[in-house]
Amino acid sequence: MSIMSSEINEQADAISATLANLRNSRLEVEQLFSGAQSVLFMARGTSDHVADYGQYLLSTKAGVLAASGSPSLATAFDAKVDLSHHVVIGISQSGSTTEIVESLAWAKRLGAKTLALTNLANSPITEGADLTLLTYAGVERAVPATKTFSSAMAAMAWVASSLSAGSLDDELSRLPDLAREVLAAPLHLGEIERAIGSAHTLVVSGRGFGQSVAREIALKLKECALINASGLSFADLRHGPVAVFSQGFPLISLGLSSTSPLLTGLHDLQRAAHQAGAPIINIGGVSAPGIPTHQIPLPELPDELLPILQVIPGQKIAERIAIARGFNPDEPRGLNKVTQTV
């Protein structure tokens, strides 16, 4: 069994430990965000997908507009902007990605309040942070991040809940058990493997809260299985990329609850992909009626939290296809655990 596979299975415990340890930081989080007029995330790779999720959560739950920033504004261009009304959130699993460490220091110099989210206490990123929140995922040894990702997603959901009078607290308390349930459920990986076949490219699509996990699953497929997968919102797909479905390569879609305002768009995408001959794997939520999909059922959860469960089957698929194609998912070619950008 791969290390990645073991770490996938540790996710329920990692989420549980993370949420338990955050409990005492609620007041500090409220104080940090008090009076903020904008939130800016600084992150790369998997952590940037946590930022993508955090953007939607804070903008819809916390009454403050959140967006993603480009680390090069800090590290390459040293942009002179006024950040005195901003909270800047740096996310780095290792806490050592130099450009994120530098981005937080840059933000602090420009007047921002700064928050670090990391899996490693006392790591360099915490030095430039007014407040540090830790995930408790334990040491992660496989290069593709899995348990640090879902723990950081849970931490972001907890931040959003903290800033909205605990609006997600009840569902968050159920999350570890639900993750355990998903990890134990049969997944029919052989069937999914056949659907993907020998594809060297595919599309993973979600929207809103789930766009983050669409991008994350696409990244796992790139890292582990060397499939050049695109992770895209289905709104963006309609603005051009939808044309590529005529090649008939697979679609992995992230389902939505039956009450999501985005459901029609998801179903339209599934219909378009099906018409183009693409096999469809849909993870969780509700698929378009009458369209054949490999449906991976998940427990019911509000759309705000569902992505944290949706990533699990995606990780398992990437690991399985890596092994089927003769790659070692734990050590993808050309990648290291701590990534530095030159």
**Which residues, 219 to 278, sit near a copy of itself by CB under 8 A?**
219, 222-223, 226-228, 230, 233, 235-236, 238-247, 249, 261-262, 264-265, 268, 272, 276
Please identify, among the stretches 72-80, 116-124, 185-193, 312-320, the one whose residues bind a copy of itself according to the rule CB under 8 A: 72-80
Q: Are 152 and 91 spatial neighbours (Cβ–Cβ below 8 Å)?
A: yes
Residue selected from 10, 18, 22, 56 as contacting a copy of itself according to rule CB under 8 A: 56
Residue selected from 30, 34, 79, 185 as contacting a copy of itself according to rule CB under 8 A: 79
- SS3 assignment for 255-317: CECCCCCCHHHHHHHHHHHHHCCCCEEEECCECCCCCCCEEECCCCCCCCCHHHHHHHHHHHH
Please identify, among the stretches 3-11, 173-181, 205-213, 287-295, the one whose residues bind a copy of itself according to the rule CB under 8 A: 205-213
> In the complex, what is the shortest distance from the CB of residue 15 to a copy of itself, in angstroms, rounded to a whole number?
22
> In the complex, what is the shortest distance from the CB of residue 124 to a copy of itself, in angstroms, rounded to a whole number?
17
State which of positions 117-176 bind a copy of itself (CB under 8 A).
Answer: 144
| Residue 314 touches a copy of itself, criterion: CB under 8 A | no
User: Which CB atom, from 23 or from 333, has the smaller least distance to a copy of itself?
Assistant: 333
State which of positions 35-54 bind a copy of itself (CB under 8 A).
Answer: 37-38, 40, 44-46, 48
User: Which CB atom, from 126 or from 339, has the smaller least distance to a copy of itself?
Assistant: 339
**Could you give the 3-state DSSP secondary structure of residue 41?**
strand
Where does the chain show beta strands of DSSP type E? 38-42, 65-68, 86-91, 113-118, 131-134, 201-206, 228-233, 251-254, 280-283, 294-296
User: Which CB atom, from 137 or from 269, has the smaller least distance to a copy of itself?
Assistant: 269
Q: Residue for token digits 């929207």? A: 207
Q: Residue for token digits 């052989």? A: 190
Q: Are 100 and 114 spatial neighbours (Cβ–Cβ below 8 Å)?
A: no
Cβ atoms within 10 A of the Cβ of 81, count?
Answer: 14
Q: x/- binding map, residues 83-122, to a copy of itself, per CB under 8 A?
A: x-xx------------x-----------------------
How many residues in the shown chain lie near a copy of itself by CB under 8 A?
74
Where does 60-209 show beta strands of DSSP type E? 65-68, 86-91, 113-118, 131-134, 201-206
Q: Are 94 and 86 spatial neighbours (Cβ–Cβ below 8 Å)?
A: no
